[in-house]
Every structure is written in C-alpha cells, then in structure tokens.
A and B are shown apart, each in its own frame.
Chain A
Amino acid sequence: MPEKLLCAAADLSDTTARIFEVEGVEIGVIRHNDTVVAYRNICPHQGGPVCEGLKMPRVCDELDEQKRSVRQSFDTTEMHFVCPWHGWEFKIETGEAIGDPKIRLSRYKVIERDAQIYVEV
C-alpha cells in the first residue's frame, strides 16, 4: 500500500485529532498512548465528523460491596472519540463503538518514521 506523508510527528496533539484530506478522504489522526492512530472521519451512524468530536474518557458506574450504586466516575485509561453530531462513542485505541463492537471506524495504518507521520492508503 502506498504511504502518504501527513505531517511532522511533533505537530500531532494528544488532545485533539488533526484532520487530513488524502485523495478526497478525510482522515483524523491523533497521538494516543505513545502511538498514533488514524481513522476515516466518518461516523458509521449517520456520517458525522467523528474524529472532530471531543476526546473523553469512558464513564463508569461505581458499586459498593453490596452492589449498590455509589457514583459515576471517569476511566481515563479508556479514551473515546465522541461524534459531535449524535454522541456515538468509539474507543480511540481500536475504533470500536462502545455500544456495539461490531460497528467500527475505518482504520488506517500509521507509520512514524524519521520524525514524520505517514499513513497507508
């Protein structure tokens, strides 16, 4: 697969995806857990710009030893893209929809080499 140069590695943020247009397709690229991931910027639900949404942690319910609900909390070890159109959430690490892992973002292979970011398309 041909590689396309996107940007310098230093230009990538770990808070907000950068959006690149490669051969007419928008790709969102973000640094995540010391690696770089890239997804097509299209939500499988209704086509929203999913990579442009907020990056937010998973919300968890905390139960006590008697399984009573205590409170909710953020799990920052699992971060999500939240589609800005309808709020569908996807694991940044894998692109899986939180509500149904059979639904996934289209993923691209990313190469970080010589301080540059390339994507295979």
Chain B
Amino acid sequence: MTMPQNPLNYSSDADPAIKEFDTTKLLKNARKQALERNYKDFFICDVDSHHYETEALPEILQYMDDPVLRHLGLSAGNVGRAGLIPQAIGSQDMAGRVTRYPGRSKETVPPTPHRDITLTRRWMDALGVDMACLFPTPMLLLATHPQPEVEVAMARAYNRWLCERILEEDKRMCSMVYLPINEPHEAERIIDEFAERKGVVGFLSTGYLKRPIHDNANMRIFSKLEEHGMPLGFHAVYNWSDSSLSQLNKFISVHALGFSFCNIIHMTNWVMNGMPERFPKLRTMWIESGLAWIPFLMQRLDNEYMMRTSDAPLLKKKPSDYMREMFYSSQPMELVDNKEALEVTFKMINAETQLLYSSDYPHWDMDLPSTIYDLPFLGEQAKRDILGGNAQKLFNLEPTMSEWKLEAQKAG
C-alpha cells in the first residue's frame, strides 16, 4: 500500500512571524483600542477569564491532602494520564489556526512572579483590564469526574494553590473558587475554608452536575453562601458526551449549543423550583453562554408558567422577573450583524445594572472591552458600569487600577 503524501505544513511553528510568541505583541491592537477609547479614565473588571491550571499540576498537587491521589498525579507525568481531570474533546485552537494556543505554552516569562501572574498581567494590560476574575480551564469539567472524591480533592488543592500562589500575590486578580456541589457536605466545608480568603469574591458551580441544582441536598450550601454574602456563579461548559449534543458532528455546533444548553438547564431548574424565593439574598451570576439565550428562555418560561402556574407554586412573579434580577457575564456576545436584536436583549435583561463584561481570554472566542464600549445604544455611564462598575458592586471590590493607567492618568 502506498501511503498518501502530506507535504502541507500550516502550523504556527512553520511561520517565522509568530514563532516567538509574546502575549503583549499578539495583543498590541487591543492596547491601541484601550488608548484610543481612553480606558485609562475608568475601571474595567473582567469577570470571566482563564488560565491553564493543568500546567501547574505539580504545584497544585503539593496542596492536596490525599497522599495517594497526590502520588498518582505526580507520578503520571501529565494530567491526562493521571486521570485527575476529565479532558474535553474539541479543537479550541481550530487545528492550529488560533496561534496563541500552541504559542502560549512556550511563552517566555521571568522567574518571578508566578508564570500565571505574568501571563495574566500581559493580557490584562493589553486589553485595558484592571482586575480579572480568574477561572481554571480543564477543571470546568471536573464535576463530570466519575470519582466524587477526586473532584473534591482536586477542588480543594486547586483552591488552596490559587489563593496562596496567585491571589495572595496580586491584588488585581480575584476568583470565584471551585465549589464541588456534587458532594454537598464537602462544598459546605469549602465555603467555610475559603470565604474569607484574599481575592475570593464568590463560589463557582460548573455544568453537568450529577444531581439537579435544586436537589434538597444542596439547600445548606445555598444558605451558607447567603450567610457569607457570597455570590454563586454558574460557569457553563459544553459536554460533547451529553446525549442530545452527541448528535452534533462539528465542534462549533456543540460549542454554540452546549454552553447555552448548560445554563438553560440550570436556570430553568433554579427559577421553576423557586430558588430565588427560598434564598432571596443569594445573588447568582450566569457565565459564558452569550446573551441570546436569556430573552429566549424568559419568553419560553413565562409562556409556560402563565398556563400552568400550579407547576411552580413557590413563584410569586413571572420567571423573567426573577431572571431580570440576576447577573450575567457578557462573553461571547452575539456580534455578527444585528445590533437591533442586541439592543432588545440589553433592555430585556436590564443590562445597565445586571450585565458584567468578561473576556474569556485566552480562550478562542474571547471578547475585548470594545465589544461593550463600541455599542451605539449605550450611554457612557452604562458602558462604564458594564465594563467595571457592576462587578465592583456585585463583588464588593476595592478597585485596583493597572499601573499603566495610573501612569497615563498622571501624564494627563
């Protein structure tokens, strides 16, 4: 048999222009946007950004209580082989077309501060972001791990590592730390351990839980969050193995539907089971599904509710009324060519007070602050609130401006 010839090489390694990857250089056009739009004049907080925590696995495992799992992780050589974190199928880097994926892992940084701090500061400073809420990446699928004890052990070790190595070291970074809701008693212990840690501004539930979010076993978790005054974030994920999504054959298909589907499921359960009535002081933020799903779900749920209010007896108003009181992150905002639809969406969700800017950097579909700042239907104050003011209120943040903005302000 003659093997077919494959002489084509379109990898970024073959391209001298991007061989030496540097985040600041890649994002120089973002910095131009920040200067042109005078972002130096106001605070920008990114409520959903990421790092690749698996690259720091040997460090994270030093914070793990369970010596057997720690040994497993350290001896296996990499996280995939250790089996500690489920791996998502799907080509985020679009077969190498998004060159920061292969480039980022090879980016050169100084020995101090921590590599993740340097890389995060580079993109924050380019985008004009002053503070960032940092989330893990592969760990967003940790809730699907078949061994609940692994989820808990990894969550606790990661949270400890994040607090000590990143959040303690840099006041421009914060996080809603991982909450292992599949194990409610452990989730309660996690809240107690981390609620007062520097830089912890809330707790995070990821998608595809083993029990529905309104399960009775979870009620003490929500009470505890309410007592601490800590918001609960729902960071959507896609799961190509989901029985509905598994019929899709393209990565962009499952990515387009999977995130929204995940938030739609949790939101529907959250609202129809009267969670906002049970925990009226618990603030929730719905992260990373774009915005178009929210008006869709508001209309669907209101329509059903009015025909069958007896199915949701805890509700004292329409589902959309509860949804309008929740918080949403902006990315990935539907930007293509229908500003009218976007404007209606902003009105329907009370975006001026409930929407918070997020970049999702360094992921493939990241949004710049200009996606908010350039919207023609927003006034200047609304832009500033969405880009930073709303996050400041929700997270009770002491705004820390970036050094370059402070210098630019001094220079006039």
Chain A interfacial positions (CB closer than 8 Å to B):
15-17, 19, 41-42, 45-49, 52-57, 74, 76, 82, 84-87, 89, 100
Chain B interfacial positions (CB closer than 8 Å to A):
8, 10, 12, 15-18, 26, 28-30, 32-33, 94, 96-100, 335-337, 364-368, 370-371
Contact with B16, one of A16, A19, A42 (Cβ below 8 angstroms) = A16
Nearest-neighbour CB distance to chain B for A85, whole angstroms, equals: 7
* CB–CB B97/A54 < 8 A: yes
Instruction: List A contacts of B365 (CB < 8 A).
Output: 86
* CB–CB B368/A47 < 8 A: yes
Contact with B15, one of A15, A42, A46 (Cβ below 8 angstroms) = A15
Instruction: List A contacts of B100 (CB < 8 A).
Output: 84
Contact with B30, one of A45, A47, A53, A86 (Cβ below 8 angstroms) = A47
* CB–CB B96/A54 < 8 A: yes
Specify the main secondary structure of chain A where it touches its partner: loop
Question: Once bound together, how far apart are the Cα atoms of A1 and B337, in whole Å?
Answer: 33
* CB–CB A46/B371 < 8 A: yes
Question: Once bound together, how far apart are the Cα atoms of A98 and B268, in whole Å?
Answer: 37
Contact with B29, one of A47, A56, A76 (Cβ below 8 angstroms) = A47
Contact with A56, one of B97, B367, B370 (Cβ below 8 angstroms) = B97
* CB–CB A87/B8 < 8 A: no
Instruction: List B contacts of A41 (CB < 8 A).
Output: 29
Instruction: List B contacts of A100 (CB < 8 A).
Output: 336-337
* CB–CB A49/B366 < 8 A: no
Given pairs A47-B33, A49-B29, 17 additional interface contacts (CB within 8 A):
A16-B16, A19-B17, A45-B335, A46-B335, A46-B370, A47-B368, A48-B29, A49-B26, A54-B96, A55-B10, A57-B10, A84-B26, A85-B98, A85-B366, A86-B366, A87-B364, A100-B336
Question: Once bound together, how far apart are the Cα atoms of A55 and B337, in whole Å?
Answer: 26
- 10 of the cross-chain contacts (CB-CB < 8 Å) are A17-B17, A41-B29, A42-B29, A46-B367, A54-B18, A55-B10, A56-B10, A74-B8, A84-B26, A86-B364
* CB–CB A54/B99 < 8 A: yes
* CB–CB B371/A87 < 8 A: no
Instruction: List B contacts of A82 (CB < 8 A).
Output: 97
Question: Once bound together, how far apart are the Cα atoms of A82 and B99, in whole Å?
Answer: 10
Instruction: List B contacts of A45 (CB < 8 A).
Output: 335
* CB–CB A84/B371 < 8 A: no
Instruction: List B contacts of A85 (CB < 8 A).
Output: 26, 98, 366
Instruction: List A contacts of B12 (CB < 8 A).
Output: 54
Q: Which residue of A lies closest to B21 (CB)?
A: A84
Q: Which residue of A lies closest to B337 (CB)?
A: A100
Instruction: List B contacts of A76 (CB < 8 A).
Output: 8
Instruction: List A contacts of B33 (CB < 8 A).
Output: 47
Nearest-neighbour CB distance to chain A for B330, whole angstroms, equals: 13
* CB–CB B370/A49 < 8 A: no
Instruction: List B contacts of A74 (CB < 8 A).
Output: 8
* CB–CB B29/A87 < 8 A: no
Given that A17-B17, A46-B367, A54-B15 are contacting pairs, would A84 and B29 also be in contact in the complex, using a CB cutoff of 8 Å?
no
Instruction: List A contacts of B96 (CB < 8 A).
Output: 54
Question: Once bound together, how far apart are the Cα atoms of A19 and B17, in whole Å?
Answer: 10
* CB–CB A49/B28 < 8 A: yes
Q: Which residue of B lies closest to A13 (CB)?
A: B16
* CB–CB B370/A84 < 8 A: no
Question: Once bound together, how far apart are the Cα atoms of A74 and B10, in whole Å?
Answer: 11
Given that A17-B17, A46-B370, A47-B370 are contacting pairs, would A53 and B97 also be in contact in the complex, using a CB cutoff of 8 Å?
yes
Nearest-neighbour CB distance to chain A for B214, whole angstroms, equals: 36
Nearest-neighbour CB distance to chain B for A89, whole angstroms, equals: 8
Instruction: List B contacts of A19 (CB < 8 A).
Output: 17
* CB–CB B368/A46 < 8 A: yes
* CB–CB A84/B366 < 8 A: no
Nearest-neighbour CB distance to chain A for B18, whole angstroms, equals: 7
Question: Once bound together, how far apart are the Cα atoms of A53 and B32, in whole Å?
Answer: 18
Instruction: List A contacts of B26 (CB < 8 A).
Output: 49, 84-85
Question: Once bound together, how far apart are the Cα atoms of A61 and B33, in whole Å?
Answer: 38
Question: Once bound together, how far apart are the Cα atoms of A54 and B98, in whole Å?
Answer: 9
Question: Once bound together, how far apart are the Cα atoms of A16 and B94, in whole Å?
Answer: 19
Name the residue among A46, A55, A57, A82 with the largest chain B CB count within 10 angstroms. A46
Instruction: List A contacts of B18 (CB < 8 A).
Output: 52, 54, 84
Nearest-neighbour CB distance to chain A for B152, whole angstroms, equals: 36
Top 3 nearest A-B pairs by Cβ distance? A82-B97, A84-B99, A87-B97
Question: Once bound together, how far apart are the Cα atoms of A56 and B16, in whole Å?
Answer: 15
Q: Which residue of A lies closest to B368 (CB)?
A: A46
Name the residue among A19, A49, A57 with the largest chain B CB count within 10 angstroms. A49
Question: Once bound together, how far apart are the Cα atoms of A52 and B371, in whole Å?
Answer: 22
Q: Which residue of B lies closest to A51 (CB)?
A: B17
Name the residue among B29, B99, B337 with the largest chain A CB count within 10 angstroms. B29
Question: Once bound together, how far apart are the Cα atoms of A6 and B260, in whole Å?
Answer: 48
Nearest-neighbour CB distance to chain B for A106, whole angstroms, equals: 14
Question: Once bound together, how far apart are the Cα atoms of A49 and B368, in whole Å?
Answer: 14
Nearest-neighbour CB distance to chain B for A46, whole angstroms, equals: 5
